[in-house]
Amino acid sequence: MMLWICAALAGLWVAGGGCQKSDSNQAGGQPGMTIGVSFETLQTEFWVAALGAFKAECGRRNIKMIQAIADGDANRQIEQVRNFITRKVDGIVMVPKDAKACLPIIKAANAANIPMVLFNRPPEKSEARSVAVVADNFELTRETVRWMIGEARKTGRKHKAMVLIGDLGDINAIGRRDGFDAAVKEAPEVIEVVARIPTEWSQEKAQAGVVNAFQANPDISFIFTSSDSLLPSIVSALKATGRYKKAGEPGHVILGGFDGDATAYQMLVEGYLDATGVQDVYFEVKACLQAIEDLRGGKVVPEVIKDPGFVIHQGNLKEMAPRMWGANVKR
C-alpha cells in the first residue's frame, strides 16, 4: 500500500506540473523568479479564467508559478500562503477569502520581505502592507447602467427595475450596488426600482428572488445583475414568463450584468443581453505581476491599482469582444 501511494504521489506530481518548466525563450520578467498564486476558490468561470491568465502571463514573463486553492476556507488559505513563504517565493498573489482573515498572512509576508499583491479583492485597512488590483466596481457599474438607461429612454416610457445584489460582505458587491443606485438616481423619470434581490452570489437564492419579484411585479422591464454568473437564473425566470426576447423584439426586458463571462458573451451575440461591465482580467493579471516585479525592484507602487474595465454592449460588441475574457473562454 505504501508503494502504491508513493507511486501515485510521484505520478500525480509529474502529471500535475510539479516540475513546470518556464519558457526561457520568452521575454520579460526577472530570471528564475517564482511566485505563489493563492485563490480562494475556482468555483466560477471568472476565477478559472483568471488562473489561466496568470499561467499564460507567467509563462510570457519567464516566471515560475506555483498555485494553491483554498476551497473557500480562510484557515486553509493561511496555511497555503505560509507554505509559499516557507518556499521563499519571490512574490505572492492572493485572492483572499475575506478582507479581515487575510491580514495575518499579509503581515507574515511583510515580515519575510515578500511582495504581496491582492487580486480583485482589497484587504481591510490595517498596518499590513500590500498592493490590491481591483476593478472599479462603482464606476464600471454606473457606466453599464447608464448605457442601459439610455436604451430604456429610447422606448419613451418609464420602466420598473429589478437589481440582483451580491454578498454584502464582499466590498465588490457593495461597489456594484452603489454604482447601480447612483445611475438610477440620475434618471428617476425613466427608472423606478421595484425589486432588490439579495443573492449572496448564490444561483438558488437569485432564482427564488427573481421568481418572487416577477410574481409581485409582472411588468418589470429592466434588470441588472451584479454578476453575470447569476444570468442563468434570470433567463430561467424570463423563459418561464414568456419574456425572454431579443433586443428590438416587442416585450424585450432590458438586461445588463457585470463580469463579462462566457454566458454574457453568448447572450450578447444572440441579442438577449444589452450590456455588461467587463472586468479586464488580462489588465488585472498583468498589473499584479508588474507590481511584484516593481516592488522587488524597489519601485514605489500605489496601494490600490484600479482596473477601469469597459462596458460591452450591442453597439460595440465586435470591437470590444477580443478584450472580453468570457469571449476568449468560449473560443
Closest distance of CB 310 from another protein, Å? 30
CA dist list (Å): 17 to 12, 64, 66, 70, 115: 8, 11, 9, 19, 24
CA 285 to chain centroid, in Å, comes to 11
Q: Which of 59, 60, 74, 232 touches another protein by CB under 8 A?
A: 74
Binding status of residue 80 toward another protein by CB under 8 A: yes
Residue 268 CA neighbour count, 13 Å, CB half? 30
Binding status of residue 98 toward another protein by CB under 8 A: yes
Closest distance of CB 122 from another protein, Å? 15
Q: Which of 33, 53, 58, 66 touches another protein by CB under 8 A?
A: 66
Q: Which of 28, 32, 56, 87 touches another protein by CB under 8 A?
A: 87
Q: Binding string, 169-188, against another protein, x = CB under 8 A? A: x-------------------
The dihedral through the CA atoms of 137, 140, 145, 148 has a sign that is negative
Q: Report the distance separating Cα 133 and Cα 297, nearest Å.
A: 18
Which of 252, 150, 231 lies closest to 191, judged by CA?
150
Stretch that binds another protein, among 16-24, 254-262, 266-274, 311-319 (CB under 8 A): 16-24
Closest distance of CB 47 from another protein, Å? 11
Binding status of residue 71 toward another protein by CB under 8 A: yes
Binding status of residue 13 toward another protein by CB under 8 A: yes
Q: What residues form DSSP beta bridges with 164?
A: 197, 225
Binding status of residue 168 toward another protein by CB under 8 A: yes
How many positions of this chain bind another protein (CB under 8 A)?
Answer: 45
User: Do residues 134 and 306 lie in contact, with contact meaning Cβ atoms separated by under 8 Å?
Assistant: yes
Burial 166-200 (b: 16+ CB within 10 A, else e): bbeebbbbbbbbebbbebbeebeebbebbbebebe
Name which of 78 and 287 has its Cβ closer to another protein: 78
Name which of 198 and 232 has its Cβ closer to another protein: 198
Stretch that binds another protein, among 95-103, 185-193, 303-311, 320-328 (CB under 8 A): 95-103
Cell of 20: 513546470
Closest distance of CB 200 from another protein, Å? 7
CA dist list (Å): 146 to 102, 150, 220, 254: 35, 6, 18, 12
CA 229 to chain centroid, in Å, comes to 10
Closest distance of CB 46 from another protein, Å? 16
By CB under 8 A, name the binding residues for another protein: 1-2, 5-6, 8-10, 12-13, 15-18, 20, 42, 66-69, 71-76, 78-80, 82-83, 85-88, 98-101, 103-104, 124, 167-169, 200
